[in-house]
């Protein structure tokens, strides 16, 4: 069964460093998303991506964040200069259409020290 994959599973970084989180969405999906979940809190939307551009972003997704689909399979989230409060689980998701089922990856746990 097709699934969304994410790497790495756990990333530890120092404050101020850049990190890139990687995702491989399900192959026939066209809509891609990043969400995050701070420990004990709700899953929060960060950004949606369609047709090689950002279609919607939340107020969390400021200039420190960027997304890219560098090739036909990968979808990346970059945080330019990490802060302590960026520590969270980051989930990638994909969907065939925006209102259809969204399938999530296993997540990357980001720890900023």
Partner 1 sequence: QKEVEQDPGPLSVPEGAIVSLNCTYSNSAFQYFMWYRQYSRKGPELLMYTYSSGNKEDGRFTAQVDKSSKYISLFIRDSQPSDSATYLCAMPDAGGTSYGKLTFGQGTILTVHP
Contact call for residues 9 and 110 (beta carbons, < 8 A): no
Neighbours of 67 (CB within 10 A): 22
With contacts defined by CB under 8 A, name the span among 11-19, 37-45, 59-67, 71-79 that binds partner 1. 37-45
**In this structure, are strands 108-112 and 88-95 parallel, antiparallel, or unpaired?**
antiparallel
Contact call for residues 92 and 6 (beta carbons, < 8 A): yes
Beta bridge partners of 1: none
Report if residue 111 touches partner 1, rule: CB under 8 A.
Answer: no
Report if residue 101 touches partner 1, rule: CB under 8 A.
Answer: yes
- Contact partners, residue 19, CB within 8 Å, separation at least 6: 11, 13, 78, 79, 82, 110
Report if residue 56 touches partner 1, rule: CB under 8 A.
Answer: yes
Report if residue 82 touches partner 1, rule: CB under 8 A.
Answer: no
Residue among 55, 73, 111, 113 that touches partner 1 (CB under 8 A): 55
Residue among 21, 61, 95, 112 that touches partner 1 (CB under 8 A): 95
Applying CB under 8 A, the residues found at the interface with partner 1 are: 4, 6, 31, 33, 35, 42-45, 48, 50, 55-56, 58, 89, 91, 93, 95, 97-107, 109
């Amino acid at each position: 069964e097709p699934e969304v994959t994410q790497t790495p599973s756990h990333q530890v970084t120092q404050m101020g460093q850049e990190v890139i989180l990687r995702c491989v969405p399900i192959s026939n999906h066209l809509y891609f998303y990043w969400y995050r979940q701070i420990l004990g809190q709700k899953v929060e939307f960060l950004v949606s991506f369609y047709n090689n551009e950002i279609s919607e972003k939340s107020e969390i997704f400021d200039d420190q964040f960027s997304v890219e689909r560098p090739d036909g399979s990968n979808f990346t989230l970059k945080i330019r200069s990490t802060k302590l409060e960026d520590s969270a689980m980051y989930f990638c998701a994909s969907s065939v259409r925006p209102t259809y089922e969204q399938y999530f990856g296993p997540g990357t746990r980001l720890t900023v020290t």
